[in-house]
Amino acid sequence: MVTRHRLLALAFAAAASAAPAAAPTIAEIVEVADITGLAVSPDGLRVAYRVHRADLARNDYALEWRVAEVDGGADRRVGGGGAPVYVDPGAIDAAAPVWSADGSALFHRVLADGAIGLWRTAADGSASAPVAVHDGNIRAVVAESGGRTLRYATGASRAAVQRAERAEYDSGIRIDPSVDLMQALTGGGMIDGRKATQRLTGVWFARKGLLADTPLTWRSLNLQTLADASSEAPPLPPVVSPIQFTPPPLETRSTTGNFARAIWDDGRMRLEVETVAGVRHECPQTLCAAGRFSWMAWQPGRDVLLVAMRDGFRDQTLFRWSVADGDVRRLAGGDGLLAGDRDGQTPCAAAPSALICVASSPIAPPRIVAIDIATGSTRLLHDPNAALRARDLPQVERLAWASAGGTAYGLMLTPRGPPVPRPLFISYYRCQGYLRGGEGDEWPFAALIDAGFAVVCINAVDRPGNSDGVTSYRDALDAIEKLVVRESKAGRVDRDRVGMGGFSFGSEVTMWVARNSSLLKALSLASTQPEPHYYWANAMRGRMHPGVLRDYWGLGAPEATPEHWRLLSPALDAARIRAPLLLQLPEHELRGATELHARLSNLPTPVEMYGFPDEAHYKLQPRHKAAAYARNLDWFRFWLQGVRDPDPLKAEQFARWEALASRWRGERGEP
């Protein structure tokens, strides 16, 4: 720990050199707009897309549909998107709309007045109204017949779902493998705009509502006459399990019948195209050597495959492959994401002349652009985050260094100005697109940098062929230690003031680093850890969890593999956690951390735990995100800079932390 006298000196120095904050505020980071649901019009001249933005005042999200001209002409709001439809484990449904054949209207799902219906929105913005609302919510929409008709499906009626919830509430709930005891038995999650009872689907922690397995009722809608009739179910793509150590294949078929497929083959990605005539084409070396495949799309009406490749920094570069003559050209990219949304795996929307993409980079929030397929030139269509680009932005440096598991890649963000030894905050897992708060959006990078921190976001080291958790943790520790040594020697970070925060896999790495090194002086977790309690809460016969724990971590029942549990469980190794720990956990994971929290509370190491009601893996409510950001900022400034926010509303918080620090110093014999 930094001594009290040094902390006071650092605090005075920080106060003396402080300048008016010009970086994005926590509220502005929370309210960054995202873009999803891209769909090109039948004539290829326009693109529809949805913008959603958090609204802290309402603790909700505002959704709107927009239409832009691909050539960079008019862009307009055409209608609202209703209330957000939350999907497990903490995201907003992002389905693209269906265009009518004549391009006059969009058809899309809307949650309004407690029901998910099918709405028609005029492409010129003149009207938006429901065309199909039933007793059951609309679950799926499938376009067909060139935009002349679509098919949609409804599930069990809303009244039947609520009756089923009430019936089991009154009679008692039988605990079977589908009941997750980590969340509330009833009303444990948000489904279709209401707090509803959830059940596990059988695939990891994916959840569904009661009666979700009721057979869907399919109907067909004529998009010109709006005539509605019963229909058979259309062919649907298979559901892909989220628990895979080898990525699923990427597949896409062109309008001319050509089929492209990218698969993992002996540790590397292989791309093959089969034409409608049965001719096979292997991926040219100039394309396949450019990185890993993120997504693929065909240029409409052409035998041209458009491919996004990802490098070690998770930056995407777009390529154009003319299958007939083998010509490969680089179109754009190399500095962030170019995809259909912020996850980087959804394809850009392909028009005959351009790719329409959501573009973002480490300090540039999302905007929508058109990339000319012939020349690679880029034009802006709409920027919902333009105000943030005028703010004071940090310096960004891409770092690559050798580590035990292979080359490590990361991004270092620092305040502008000459290098000085700064407190360092580390995030480890995935670093892509606009860096708001690391994977999970938990730590306000802009606010930390504005407070004088250096922030390093490290992509997980990718050891070829590895599917072992312990090896991944050891590779991470080696990469982090080498980076801190290198940057401290360069005079850019203070190795005595290093903090780290982690979400999901990143939280496991954070705890491994805390327990197996003296590197960290403060830490924060947003996810639960593998603990004996976690095992038994998920080990009922019929659950897949014991198999995953065995295959990835080598963990059996605690009494069967006690040594491995001591190796991996922070609760069983609490005495080796020697840095102040802040736990900010979603309610669905909170109960799994009770042993760790209780053990640490009886040790000198400072610990505080917060639970966020109704949240799943990712926190979704805007006020919860803002609260987590603010508390994480306070935590790392307190322990690494000796700074207390003078806000009187935080006086009790800092008094608690001072008491924790005093007790800790006393146990360690420090003044």
The pLDDT of residue 591: 94
Asked which of 345, 369, 384 is the last residue of a domain, the reply is 384
Which amino acid, one-letter code, is at 649?
L
Which amino acid, one-letter code, is at 606?
P
Residue 574 contacts residue 600 (beta carbons within 8 Å): yes
Same domain, 399 and 376: no
- When divided into structural domains, the chain yields a total of 3
What sign for the dihedral angle of Cα 7, 13, 15, 21? negative
The predicted model gives 422-427 an average pLDDT of 98
Same domain, 59 and 171: yes
Give yes or no for residue 442 having a pLDDT over 80: yes
Same domain, 496 and 579: yes
The predicted model gives 149-165 an average pLDDT of 97
Same domain, 622 and 610: yes
Same domain, 20 and 164: no
What span, in angstroms and rounded, lies between the C-alpha atoms of 118 and 130? 6
The pLDDT of residue 248: 67
Whether this prediction's pTM lies above 0.75 is answered by yes
The predicted model gives 287-304 an average pLDDT of 92
Q: What is the pLDDT of residues 304-350, one digit of tens each?
A: 999 999 999 999 999 999 998 999 999 999 899 999 999 999 999 99
In 3D space, the residue among 2, 50, 54, 139 whose CA is nearest the CA of residue 627 turns out to be 54
Same domain, 235 and 271: no
Q: Would 534 be classed as within a structural domain?
A: no
Domain range holding 520?
4-27+389-529+570-668
Q: H/E element holding 607?
A: strand 607-612
Comparing 230-244, 264-278, 400-414, the range with the smallest average pLDDT is: 230-244
Q: Would 563 be classed as within a structural domain?
A: no
Same domain, 325 and 180: no
Same domain, 290 and 225: no
Share of the chain above pLDDT 70, in %: 95
Residue 20 belongs to domain with CATH number: 3.40.50.1820
Q: Would 553 be classed as within a structural domain?
A: no
Same domain, 117 and 136: yes
What span, in angstroms and rounded, lies between the C-alpha atoms of 250 and 295? 7
Q: Would 559 be classed as within a structural domain?
A: no
The pLDDT of residue 566: 96
Asked which of 240, 265, 292 is the last residue of a domain, the reply is 240
Share of the chain above pLDDT 90, in %: 84
Taken as a whole, the chain contains a residue count of: 671
Q: H/E element holding 223?
A: none
Q: Would 374 be classed as within a structural domain?
A: yes
Q: Would 551 be classed as within a structural domain?
A: no
- Quick one: DSSP state of residue 175? -
Q: What is the pLDDT of residues 525-544, one digit of tens each?
A: 999 999 999 999 999 999 99
Q: H/E element holding 598?
A: helix 594-601
C-alpha triplet 25, 29, 35: angle, nearest 5°: 150
Give yes or no for residue 49 having a pLDDT over 60: yes
- 622-641 and 4-17 are packed helices; what angle lies between their axes, rounded to 10 degrees? 120
What span, in angstroms and rounded, lies between the C-alpha atoms of 333 and 360? 10
Residue 25 CB-half CA count within 13 A: 8
Same domain, 183 and 99: yes
The predicted model gives 287-292 an average pLDDT of 87
What does the DSSP assignment read for 422-439? EEEEEEEE---SS-SSTT
Q: Would 564 be classed as within a structural domain?
A: no
Residue 457 contacts residue 363 (beta carbons within 8 Å): no
What span, in angstroms and rounded, lies between the C-alpha atoms of 312 and 230? 49
Residue 542 CB-half CA count within 13 A: 10
Asked which of 334, 352, 384 is the last residue of a domain, the reply is 384
Q: Which two tokens stand for residue 368?
A: 């929508």
C-alpha triplet 432, 435, 440: angle, nearest 5°: 80
What span, in angstroms and rounded, lies between the C-alpha atoms of 102 and 82? 25
Which amino acid, one-letter code, is at 266?
D
| CA 368 centroid distance within chain | 19
Rg from Cα positions in the chain: 26
| CA 394 centroid distance within chain | 22
Residue owning tokens 């279709």 = 192
Residue 262 belongs to domain with CATH number: 2.120.10.30
Same domain, 16 and 58: no
Same domain, 625 and 506: yes
Q: Would 440 be classed as within a structural domain?
A: yes
Q: What share of the chain is helix, strand, coil (3-state, %, to 5)?
A: 25, 35, 40
CA dihedral 365, 366, 371, 377 (to 10 degrees): -20
The pLDDT of residue 133: 97
State whether residue 301 is helix, strand or coil. coil
